[in-house]
A and B are shown apart, each in its own frame.
Chain A
Amino acid sequence: MINARITVTLKTGVLDPQGKAIGGALAALGFAGVAGVRQGKVFDVTLDHDDRARAAAELADMCEKLLANTVIEDYAVEID
């Protein structure tokens, strides 16, 4: 089994109104000095085999085809 973590974040330059609202809420809670918040998604994916090279290719393909919208999002894959 291979466990992988995929992190999807908005590309630099893409406006993130949700991140902005979260930053505002942090300020409202008294957290001073938050210069910015960008929000994203995390996917923990478990594969039923142990082939790390195959896993890297499969996970990148999953990101390209579904998990990230590469028009607006970047992704990073970490394999345990």
Chain B
Amino acid sequence: MRAVVVLLPGLNRDRDMIAALRTITGHEPLTLWQTDTQLPARTDLVVIPGGFSFGDYLRCGAIGARMPVMRAVAEAARRGVRVLGVCNGFQILLEAGLLPGALMRNASLNFVCKTVRLQVVNADTAFTRGYRPGQVIDCPVAHHDGNYFADAGTLARLHDANRIVLRYAEGTNPNGSTDDIAGIVNSEGNVLGLMPHPENRIEPAHGGTDGRALFESALGLVSA
């Protein structure tokens, strides 16, 4: 499968993401710049990494979401191409309207940088089928704006359609996120956004490999 990493000025986890994809697939992922208007042919997975695109000006992800490259990403998502947004990438997917809701300042007002426990609430998605339902994994977080918010109707829809894919395990919510939400998918199941950084948990040197199955799932490397 062909993975493509979106690059925007101010992202800073792009090298980690590229390294993770290289380690898992054995080859270099392609990259896209903000001004690109077309995805490479046969793109299977688009990844938007974390960081602080455009300095978090206006709102986190607001400017990045409106760059030309995101129109190509949205169009690909409509065709069913898998799209993964991590941290600032999740914020960008929300600002681009590819996922519902918003990410607000952490309830503590502090930047949080630590390892949290995540529960795989829905292991029946293209991104999580490498996990067991209900499996609890370790994953790092590093963000200032990870406090997920959506109106009651949206939350009910997410819940009813099992679109809340990842939750902070009980007692570990680092940001005040509604319903402990750490990651959600779109209604078609091909767009996932999450605040934690699975790309920083894929080899023993990271202290664990719990994030690896997310990429293996998204890249079609685990059997359905």
Contact = CB atoms under 8 A, between A and B. Distances in A.
A8 B31 CA distance: 35
B10 interface: no
A72 interface: yes
B18 to A, nearest CB: 29
A66 B57 CA distance: 12
Interface in A33-76: 65-67, 69, 71-72
Nearest to A13: B151
B101 A69 contact: no
A69 B102 contact: yes
Given A69-B62, A71-B149, A18 B95 contact: no
Contact of B109 (A18, A65, A66, A69): A18
Nearest to B175: A17
Contacts of A69: 59, 62, 95, 102
A17 B59 CA distance: 15
A17 B105 contact: yes
B66 interface: yes
A21 interface: yes
A66 B107 contact: no
B62 A15 contact: no
Contacts of B95: 69
Contacts of B102: 69, 71-72
B30 interface: no
A65 B59 CA distance: 13
B62 A71 contact: no
Nearest to A10: B104
B106 interface: yes
Nearest to B94: A71
Contact of B62 (A14, A17, A21, A66): A66
A36 B148 CA distance: 23
A18 B66 CA distance: 26
A17 B149 contact: no
A17 B58 contact: no
A72 B66 contact: no
Contacts of B58: 66-67
28 contacts: A14-B104, A14-B149, A15-B104, A15-B107, A15-B147, A15-B176, A17-B105, A17-B106, A17-B107, A17-B108, A17-B109, A17-B176, A18-B105, A18-B109, A65-B66, A66-B58, A66-B62, A66-B66, A67-B58, A69-B102, A71-B94, A71-B100, A71-B101, A71-B102, A71-B150, A71-B151, A72-B104, A72-B149
Interface of A: 14-15, 17-18, 21, 65-67, 69, 71-72
